[in-house]
Amino acid sequence: MNRLEKSERAVVVGVYTKSSEKRKAEETLLELEELVHSAGGKVVGRVLHRRPRFDPAYLVGKGKIVEIAAMAEELKADLVVFDEPLSPAQHRNIENIIKTKVLDRTQLILDIFAQRAMTREGKLQVELAQLTYLLPRLTGRGQQMSRLGGGIGTRGPGEKKLEYDRRRIGERIKKIKEEISNVRKRREVQRKHRKKDNIPTVALVGYTSAGKTTLFNLLTGEEKKISGALFTTLDPILRRVTLPSGFPFLLSDTVGFIRKLPVELVTAFRATLEEATEADVLLHVIDISSENYRDEVAAVEKTLADLGAIDKPIIKVYNKIDLLPKKEYFLEKNREDNYRVYISAKTGEGVEELLRKVESILLNGIEIKTIIVPFSQQYKLEGIIKKSIILSKEVTEEGLKIKVGVKKNETR
């Protein structure tokens, strides 16, 4: 991770237009502060401004920008981060007044993703999102960009902004899209191979920091890095998990969602997020200890709807009950609904019930049988494998003893 030796000092700015929107604006501004921290920065000032409508030239109005510029100078801030997306014109106008780096929420998230991407695929997706964002913002920004230097908002392809022109960026975007298309094709081949084995897939989705990685580690025995920082999981991985019945499934972890998730990221990471759209069951992990968990659930459901995955079987996994005063009350509710479960991925409480619910959904319409294939009839194996999931094999005196899961309408 490209952390700074010395944290950059940031002023964060939020804006809302109706009094009824103030609470949500405060929440998203707090989230923006967490994003700054995740990027390696330190928040030294915050502004939450109400105005009748967004100013098309300065977002919060020219007078307020002058005030923010004075605050940034007084606090020795290295950057000013706006919680709303800035148009190219707004960005240029604000930078003409605020004599330091100016970012919006989208740029900040892209910067964090540039730090987190580890695989070739992840880096390509981040670069595509950054260049797509940069392209309409090139005109007239040479002077401003030349003084950006390093740090937050300049990682990845941002460090090479000055050497790009529109044509070269366009060519690079085209090339990246071709490479990502090849990644999607490879993933599709991999999915087809998995489907041949008839092994179902289960995907973890949820708001960032909901505890997906902790649950993934618990179910798989992995030791993926756990962190309170946002977006610690960027590159997807799949691992085989075996249910108590012996029935297997593949579990995938996905990037955490967030309110105001930039459209550039949803588009660029579609190849990765297809793991969720192609899964047989989704586990929507929810931090029930969060005061804003209902809003976080809504943000995730909106993204799933955008991806076309909202109609899949979804189990809502309310995590972190160990942080609640009456966790026993929630554990008692676990048998009420097959698509809702309360757990603590940290302590393991409720996870057995979660697996029971996953098993109930995956085994719906599936019958587990034990078949003995005589040695003289081994030619039948290929047909059995095509129609079933092989749970176990054992050589006996009578022949090959196989435990299989097969659809009930195919058992005859």
User: Which class does domain 199-362 fall in?
Assistant: alpha beta
Q: Which two tokens stand for residue 40?
A: 């390696």
In this predicted model, what pLDDT tens digit does every residue of 296-333 receive, in sequence order? 999 899 888 888 888 889 999 999 999 998 888 899 88
Inform me whether the pLDDT recorded for 200 exceeds 50: yes
Inform me whether the pLDDT recorded for 4 exceeds 50: no
Inform me whether the pLDDT recorded for 412 exceeds 70: no
Higher pLDDT, 31 or 278: 31
Domain topology for 8-163: Rossmann fold (3.40.50)
Q: Which residues contact 145 (CB under 8 A, 6 or more apart)?
A: 161, 162
Neighbours of 396 (CB within 10 A): 9
The predicted pLDDT at position 409 comes to 58
Inform me whether the pLDDT recorded for 154 exceeds 70: no
Q: What is the pTM of this model?
A: 0.76
Q: What is the mean pLDDT of residues 330-353?
A: 91
- Mean pLDDT over the full length of the chain: 82
The predicted pLDDT at position 288 comes to 95
Which segment of 55-59, 125-129, 288-292 scores lowest on mean pLDDT?
125-129
